[in-house]
Amino acid sequence: MNNEENVVLVGNKPPMNYVIAAMAMFQSGRKRVFIKARGRAISKAVDAAEILRKRFMTNLEIEEIKIDTQQIETEGRKRNVSSIEICLTQE
């Protein structure tokens, strides 16, 4: 499974920050990197994965994409938050 050493958590920064983080993981010898995001950051995670695959490391493959919805309770209200996990592998 994925340990926390090869996970890029996507948040509010520009997509290139996450591209660079993932590239550093691959260059340090990892064969598999997971890009994870929740809510509004999902599109940024997809952008980062595609920029990485198409511009910088064309030998990467998308091994698996997992999507999920979690129910979170905040301030007494329940709401659904979507999440995505993109698994990239190096050939």
- pLDDT per residue of the chain (91 residues) written in tens, 0 to 9: 456 789 999 999 999 999 999 999 999 999 999 999 999 999 999 999 999 999 999 999 999 999 999 998 888 899 999 999 999 998 7
Residues belonging to the chain:
91
Partnered with residue 84 across adjacent β-strands are 37, 67
Q: If phi over 0 gives left and psi between -120 and 50 gives alpha, with beta otherwise, what is residue 41?
A: alpha
Assign domain 4-90 to its CATH architecture. Answer: 2-Layer Sandwich (3.30)
Number of H helices, E strands in the chain: 2, 4
d(CA 9, CA 27): 18
What's this model's pTM, rounded to 2 decimal places? 0.88
Helix or strand (DSSP H, E) at 24: helix 15-27
